[in-house]
């Protein structure tokens, strides 16, 4: 995969992810550029210093840095559960998110809010790609993301481990009057259809963001951000 931009490349280097080659624009000598170059050398990454014209052919908004990385390494649901303290587990489940910009924005929000991991479908949903990595501003390097075939089975398994699963949908309980502390999983539905009927039925409860406008619909990543930070507010 191709990753571009100063912040993203720097986070990839800091995380220790395998970078096959780093392309750097000639004659960059500012503090951030020197830091990135030093990190690459410390990690033994091969660096090619090239012209801006060469980088422009590889990426549109590179800020002088483009790298070739290995494919994103997904975690397992078990990895996510094992990384979190019982009683404080916070998981986000994405049901059919298809827009890479939405996925990237949700990953970035989850990382900032201390979510332990994200679970996505391995089909009929966006996977972690170059656009997602770019939109997440490098948050993919610090977020455990698991791919599964059947979200319904995952929800049932989480409930057996005393994790309370909430679907974020219209027609549910007021999110601001719902206890979101303890072990929870928050299910975010797709851009066009929301949380699927069967998955919603398998959840412990449905929670809703109050909406007073006429459109009566929020972008998936915006709704996720509001709900995730309401959970964080309560948990802090």
Q: What is the pLDDT of residue 172?
A: 94
Q: What is the pLDDT of residue 138?
A: 82
Give the pLDDT score at 167: 98
Predicted model pTM: 0.82
Residue 109: is its pLDDT beyond 90?
yes
- Select the more confidently predicted residue: 184 or 216: 184
pLDDT computed for residue 158 by the predictor: 97
Tell me the CATH number for domain 2-69. 3.30.1330.30
pLDDT digits (tens, 9 = 90+) for 21-73: 999 999 998 999 999 999 999 989 999 999 999 999 888 889 999 998 878 88
User: How far is the C-alpha of 54 from the C-alpha of 22, rounded, in Å?
Assistant: 13
181 contacts: CB under 8 Å, gap ≥ 6: 234, 235
Q: What six digits make up the tokens of 84?
A: 């979190």
Question: In the sheet where 2-4 sits, what is the strand order?
Answer: 2-4, 65-69, 19-25, 47-50
SS3 141: helix
The helices-and-strands tally (H runs, E runs) of the chain is 9, 10
Tokens of 179: 């206890």
The CA distance from 66 to 24, in Å, is 7
What are the residue ranges spanned by the domains of the chain?
2-69, 77-235
Amino acid 4: pLDDT: 87
pLDDT digits (tens, 9 = 90+) for 93-108: 999 999 999 999 999 9
- Whether the pLDDT of residue 144 is over 80: the answer is yes
Q: Which residue has the higher pLDDT, 124 or 198?
A: 198
Residue 156 reports pLDDT greater than 90: yes
118 forms beta bridges with 92, 145
The number of beta carbons lying within 10 Å of the beta carbon of residue 153 is 12
User: Mean pLDDT across the stretch 128-141?
Assistant: 89
CA atoms within 13 A on the CB side of 218: 18
Assess whether the region 2-69 and the region 77-235 belong to the same CATH fold. no
Q: Which CATH superfamily is domain 77-235 in?
A: SPOUT methyltransferase, trefoil knot domain (3.40.1280.10)
Closest CA to 229 of 129, 84, 113, 98: 113
């Amino acid at each position: 995969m191709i990753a571009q931009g100063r912040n993203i490349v720097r986070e990839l280097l800091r995380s220790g992810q395998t970078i096959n080659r780093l392309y750097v624009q000639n004659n960059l000598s500012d503090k951030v550029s020197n830091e990135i170059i030093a990190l690459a050398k410390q990690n033994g990454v091969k660096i090619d210093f090239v012209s801006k014209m060469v980088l422009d052919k590889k990426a549109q908004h590179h800020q002088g840095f483009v790298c070739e990385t290995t494919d994103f390494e997904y975690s397992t649901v078990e990895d996510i559960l094992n990384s979190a303290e019982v009683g404080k587990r916070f998981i986000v489940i994405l049901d059919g998110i298809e827009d890479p910009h939405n996925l990237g924005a949700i990953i970035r929000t989850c990382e900032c809010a201390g979510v332990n991991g994200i679970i996505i479908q391995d089909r009929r949903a966006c996977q972690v790609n170059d656009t997602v990595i770019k939109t997440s501003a490098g948050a993919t390097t610090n977020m455990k993301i698991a791919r599964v075939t059947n979200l319904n089975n995952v929800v049932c398994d989480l409930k057996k481990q005393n994790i309370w699963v909430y679907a974020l949908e219209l027609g549910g309980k007021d999110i601001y009057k719902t206890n979101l502390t303890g072990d929870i999983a928050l299910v975010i539905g797709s851009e066009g259809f929301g949380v699927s009927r069967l998955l919603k039925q398998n959840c412990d409860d449905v929670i809703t963001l109050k909406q007073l406008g006429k459109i009566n619909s929020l972008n998936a990543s915006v709704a996720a951000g509001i709900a995730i930070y309401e959970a964080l507010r309560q948990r802090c």
